Structure 1
Amino acid sequence: MKILCLHGDDQNAKKFQSELATFLSKLKELDVDLSFDFIDVPRHKFYETGDVKDVRTAHEWLEKKLDHENPYDGVLAFSQSAALVSSFLLYRQWYDHELPPPFRFAIWISGNVPLEVLKDLGVPVSKEADGVVAQARLQRGQGLGPSPAHTAKARRAVWNSDDCFGLNLNRLPLELKIRIPTVHVWGEKDPMFPGSVHLAGLCDPYIKKIHVHQGAHEVPRDGKDVTELASLVEWSIHRATWPGQTQL
């Protein structure tokens, strides 16, 4: 299986691969033939802002990459690259629903979906949701951890589709729910974690798994986290290759 690996903003492929070294070593224990394609993106960032034009331009880069490479089975993306891939999948499902998904499964670490993208796709985004993301960015910009208000609401936001940090996910059509197996990983000390909760909520609840580690906005490296993450990747591979999945 071939997996596309995309780093976060202000990173490069070499650094991302180094951060994943322990995890990749653990994956070698799986009874699956895996290969990983780490690539550098232009200027070490996919886009400068989260506005729709900027993100869509980054989508063009990703689409060219996918067109010129052998098909990828899965994608492993961190931070901004997770936002890129998830928003790319949503636009594709909405506007090019006759095309098959470009990936059979996705693993997102500290991921999110830009709210401006959701608005462009017609998703009702409340002032509360905008406020949550703005506060999260402020917390990160000041070098702080998560907002106490966000932490207090975390569990409810994960499980309550009526109010996922200001998004009512029950109002979304099926085309705006990502329908491939997904794994969502974020740190409980990451001030940006509400965005990861938004992304998890936008995925099919029956074929997604969530793992919250004790770190911040980072790739988990603790032995227990690495073992759990490897098992989740194994789950996503098996779920993606289940014969019925291709009919969904």
Structure 2
Amino acid sequence: MRILCLHGYGMNPDAMKHQLSTLRKLCDPSWEFHFLAGRIQCSPAPGVQGIPGPYLCYSTDFDPVSMRAAQALVHEELETQGPFDGVFGFSTGASILAAYLLEQSATHPGKPLPVRFAVFCSAVPIISTDLAYYQAIYGSLSDEEEQIIRAGQYDQLVKLPEPIRTAAKTVAHVTDILKPMLRKSRLHYLDRPPLEIPCPLHPDLYKARLNIPTLHTRGKKEPPALKESSLVMESFCIPSLRRTFEHSAGHGIPTSRGEIEDMLAAMEEMAGSDRRAARL
């Protein structure tokens, strides 16, 4: 079993290896975890300062150009280091993997995805790189609407029409929550030309789905906007193939042995059912 892993913002492969250390000790020894490093240096995420740097991410601005580069990095790793049975992403790593797999599903309908299962932990919003989707959300803003977004004030964002309102509010809420990690305010992401603003995918507007087994984990103590991001990601997955696991911590991977064992059991069940399907 080979699993491609993507770390979160301000981390690196060593930090994610530390996150997964207990799970890796408990899992089948034949499981191989392959860690993909981000290419952009950034400030460290809270709690990882004890792990030697550099601290890395896959994008700092979450605009379509940098997010396409992040997806290209995933694609190259799958092509050159694969095959992989599954993927495992944490936080921004989870959203990048989901965006890549959804784009593969959208552009190659009917073709099997390059992996057979996915684990998404504490996912943040899935940011689109699809220009047509960007145009549908932000492409026809009036001057007044553009100014409201650029100002980034919640009492004005709620006055925007849908689906612009949900997209802009999601960016504002999540970047506010993640400001201690990103070290940038919501205006860094909103005060831009419309087609450079991060554009979260929404399942009502983007029809691609992940037709593979998926496991979604989130912490009970995560802020509501991040819990909502996880729920939105679940909506892109087939209900009969997805599993959800909620642990007692916050934005992170389970730390208690009992919860790690429960999470691992869900992973084993998912991977096992997938192997049985592959033999049919």
**TM-score normalised to the size of structure 2?**
0.69
Match status 1:185 vs 2:182: no
In the other structure, the counterpart of 1:65 is 77
Larger radius of gyration: 2
Matches of 2:80 and 2:202, distance apart in 1: 38
Deviates more, 1:59-68 or 1:116-125: 116-125
In the other structure, the counterpart of 2:274 is 240
CA deviation digits over 1:197-218, x for unaligned, max 9? Answer: 1111111111000111121111
In the other structure, the counterpart of 1:206 is 240
In the other structure, the counterpart of 1:10 is 10
Is the 8 Å Cα contact of residues 4 and 74 (structure 1) preserved in structure 2?
A: yes
CA gap of 1:58–1:121, structure 2 versus 1, over 3 A, is farther
Matches of 2:201 and 2:79, distance apart in 1: 33
Q: Of the candidates 135, 139, 144, which is equivalent to residue 173 of structure 2?
A: 135
Matches of 1:239 and 1:122, distance apart in 2: 38
In the other structure, the counterpart of 2:195 is none
CA gap of 1:121–1:59, structure 2 versus 1, over 3 A, is farther
Matches of 2:164 and 2:219, distance apart in 1: 25
Matches of 1:101 and 1:16, distance apart in 2: 25
In the other structure, the counterpart of 1:105 is 117
For residue 165 of structure 2, what is the amino acid of its counterpart? K
Is the 8 Å Cα contact of residues 99 and 127 (structure 2) preserved in structure 1?
A: no
In the other structure, the counterpart of 1:157 is none
1:115 shift after superposition: 4.5
Q: Which runs of 5+ in 1 are unaligned?
A: 144-165
1:224 shift after superposition: 2.3
Match status 1:42 vs 2:39: yes
Is the 8 Å Cα contact of residues 106 and 180 (structure 1) preserved in structure 2?
A: yes
Matches of 1:41 and 1:232, distance apart in 2: 28
Sequence identity percentage:
22
Matches of 2:102 and 2:20, distance apart in 1: 27
CA gap of 1:195–1:97, structure 2 versus 1, over 3 A, is same
Alignment of 1:221-236 (within 5 A): 221-236=255-270
Match status 1:22 vs 2:34: no
CA gap of 1:121–1:8, structure 2 versus 1, over 3 A, is farther
In the other structure, the counterpart of 2:95 is 83
Is the 8 Å Cα contact of residues 98 and 126 (structure 2) preserved in structure 1?
A: no
1:7 shift after superposition: 1.0
Is the 8 Å Cα contact of residues 95 and 127 (structure 2) preserved in structure 1?
A: no
CA gap of 1:15–1:82, structure 2 versus 1, over 3 A, is same
Question: The residue matched to 2:62 in structure 1 has which SS?
Answer: coil
Matches of 1:240 and 1:217, distance apart in 2: 28
CA gap of 1:129–1:212, structure 2 versus 1, over 3 A, is farther
Q: Which runs of 5+ in 2 are unaligned?
A: 41-55, 138-161, 182-199
1:170 shift after superposition: 5.8
Task: Name the count of aligned residue pairs.
Answer: 219
In the other structure, the counterpart of 1:51 is 63
CA gap of 1:142–1:7, structure 2 versus 1, over 3 A, is closer
Is the 8 Å Cα contact of residues 132 and 194 (structure 1) preserved in structure 2?
A: no
Alignment of 1:168-179 (within 5 A): 169=203, 173=207, 176-179=208-211
Question: The residue matched to 2:254 in structure 1 has which SS?
Answer: coil
Matches of 1:83 and 1:224, distance apart in 2: 26
For residue 139 of structure 1, what is the amino acid of its counterpart? I
For residue 247 of structure 2, what is the amino acid of its counterpart? H
1:133 shift after superposition: 4.4
Matches of 1:15 and 1:171, distance apart in 2: 35
